[in-house]
Amino acid sequence: MSIIQAQNIKKTYNADTIPVHALNAINLNVEEGEFTAIVGPSGCGKTTLLNILGGLDDATQGSVEIDGTTITDMRDSDLIDFRLNNIGFVFQSYNLIPVLTTKENVEFVMLLQKQGDKARQSRAMELLKEMGIADKADKRPSELSGGQQQRVAVARALASKPKFVLADEPTANLDSQSTKDLLDIMAKLNKEEGITFVFSTHDQRVIDRARRIVYLDDGKIINDVTVSK
Amino acid sequence: MLLKISWRNVWRNKSRSLIVISSIAVGVWALVAGTGFMNGFMVSYISDSITYNTSNIQVHHTKFSADKDINIFISNASEKTAHLGQIPGVTGATKRVIVNGMIASAKKASGVEIRGIDVENEQQVTHLDSALIDGAYFEGIKRNPVLIGSKLAEELNVKIRSKIVLTFSDSEGEMISGAFRVVGIIKVSAVNLNEFTAIVRDSDIQPLLGIGNNYHEIAAVTETQIDEQQIISEYESTYKEDLVQDWKEIAPELAYASDMFANMLYILMGVILTALIFGIVNTMLMAVLERIKELGMLMAVGMVKSKVFLMILVETIFLGMVGTPIGLLLGYLNVRYYQDRGVDLTEYSEGLEAFGYSSQLFPYLESSVYITVSIGVFITTIIAAAYPAYKAISLKPVEALHKI
């Protein structure tokens, strides 16, 4: 079953002056439980595609359906609510809230979902355990390594029980060991809990672990490969 | 958690927050202290005028005030004075003879209002004995003693026991003069009393005027927090034929001064709080601009714009909530310190006294001012937060997230 259906996505910047076509007629379906990497050189449109799939950016043309709901014509306020309940985000530079502890950062999205105190706290601790950083629950992000911060970011992305997680270059700022640890965790979550992950990356270590690789160049999908492992 | 985030955000950049908190505290302190000092001037101006000059309530014949005809008396003045004095809230009442005339010394003559007072009762009302700077309160001179203000004494070039002549029209319209001796010299801030009034015994002036045992004025003082109108109604329920006025009607300039002061408080508050708005807007704008990426993330993961707006608003209110009590406390301590000791403005006494102000300033503030200032700062922080908060919610998450 397709959880993401993107049809004929076009994105043009500076349409009124010198148009730059970032995405050109992209069609992409992502099935539930996939572990997909969108790869390509810098400036090929990976992040733009991820932003449009996540409802963070508008497509100039085309439509995106998430689990049967078209998000491309949603109002801003509805889209914020939709993102909260359906999509998990992991950003390249972690983007944790520096004034909150690790546990509070994970709890934050559940708070936005108006979940009760106890439910929030137990799920946050459960996720931190899963990420192997339960002992860092009371630390602030500035007290954690890059790898640990990114694991908190993954825990935060999963906290709201989203339909899928979009990760924009999640390993770009990590060393080899941290990258391996993070990929192990995400692969485990994908395999054992069936969580759908879509990455944008040009990191070979991530590409090596992906089970589907979508090659993007110059705003177009040039190859779409499913890897049997 | 929104409150927790906001509170911790306030302390993210301690020095910047402390600067804006200090500016709020200094602004509030200046406002409270400034208001206290202004209020001190006004309260002493009004209370001196009431205490020594107008009293809280005056009773006249309805036709007397128009041209002060000495043949228009209050009927049964003694009985009415006693009645007024017994109304709850009235602390003293006295009756007076009032006549306009001339006062002349060997050197100079001047126009004055001559008050013939009931010496004992008058003390309960105007406390003139407490304003004496020379001589005694109708003691030491048996025949025709007169009490005058220091400014008038200076102008006439007279001192204690100096002889002066009061000239006025009697009840028949004939000019009549009486020789008096200065028994005491008073000094009060009320210009009228200091410069244009001669106070004599009723028993000395009544025979000269030929008005028998009649009086033109009854004056009463009340407890501080009493509404004079209640007492006036009570009096009028028994005696309907007289004109009964409170101090605001007797001396409208005092009422205008009081209203003007209230408006000046708001003007002063407006000026200081407007200056604060710019300081707070600047700080909060910086706080927003350096957190663009984070704000983008908050909106990306599902924080609605109203909550982002509220978060910035609450951060600003927190700044105000820390700065305001400090400023209020400093202001309170400042006012309290000088409230008992007073501020000596003798250096400027000549100018101040010309306008009826005392040269000794005792700052004073009612507790309502602290509440008004707090509400004013609260509203200011909300206004100041609006623009930075609007800037925050105007961000597009995707653009904010990729801001370097």
Q: Measured between CB atoms, does B1 come within 8 Å of chain A?
A: yes
How distant, in Å, are the alpha carbons of A19, B19, B279, B370 from that of B26? 54, 10, 12, 15
> Over 80: is that where the pLDDT of B367 sits?
yes
Q: Minimal Cα–Cα distance from B7 to chain A, Å? A: 9
**pLDDT < 70 positions in chain A:** 229
Of B4, B293, B307, the CB nearest to A95: B293
Q: The complex's ipTM?
A: 0.89
Hey, are the CB atoms on B294 and A109 less than 8 Å from each other? no
Q: Are A131 and A80 in contact (CB under 8 A)?
A: no
Q: How far is CA B258 from the centre of its chain?
A: 6
pLDDT of residue B228: 87
Place B184 in a pLDDT band, splitting at 50, 70 and 90: very high
pLDDT of residue A104: 94
Residues of B in contact with A107 (CB under 8 A): 1
- Residue pLDDT, tens place only, B210-258: 999 999 999 999 987 778 889 999 999 999 889 999 988 888 888 888 7
Q: What interhelical angle do B292-300 and B305-341 show, nearest 10? A: 130
Q: Are B180 and B120 in contact (CB under 8 A)?
A: no
Q: Minimal Cα–Cα distance from A22 to chain B, Å? A: 15
> Over 80: is that where the pLDDT of B356 sits?
no
Q: Are B179 and B89 in contact (CB under 8 A)?
A: no
Task: Mean pLDDT check: name the lowest of B46-60, B84-98, B327-341.
Answer: B46-60
The tally of CA atoms less than 13 A away on the side-chain side of residue B404 is 0
Per DSSP, helices labelled H in B157-300 are: 191-195, 202-209, 228-238, 247-250, 252-289, 292-300
pLDDT of residue B354: 64
Of A76, A99, A160, the CB nearest to B12: A99
Q: Tell which A residues from 137 to 156 touch B, by Cβ distance under 8 Å.
A: 156
Mean pLDDT to the nearest integer, B154-158: 93
Q: Are A11 and A53 in contact (CB under 8 A)?
A: no
Q: Round to whole Å and give the CA distance between B12 and B5.
A: 10
- Residue pLDDT, tens place only, B72-109: 999 999 999 999 999 999 999 999 999 999 999 988 99
Q: Round to whole Å and give the CA distance between B158 and B153.
A: 5
Mean pLDDT to the nearest integer, B272-301: 90
Q: Minimal Cα–Cα distance from A204 to chain B, Å? A: 23
How long a stretch of residues is chain B? 404
Name the residue of chain A whose CA is nearest to B293's CA: A95
Of B30, B33, B38, B41, the residue nearest B271 (C-alpha) = B30
Residues 6+ apart with CB under 8 A from B73: B61, B64, B211, B214, B215, B216
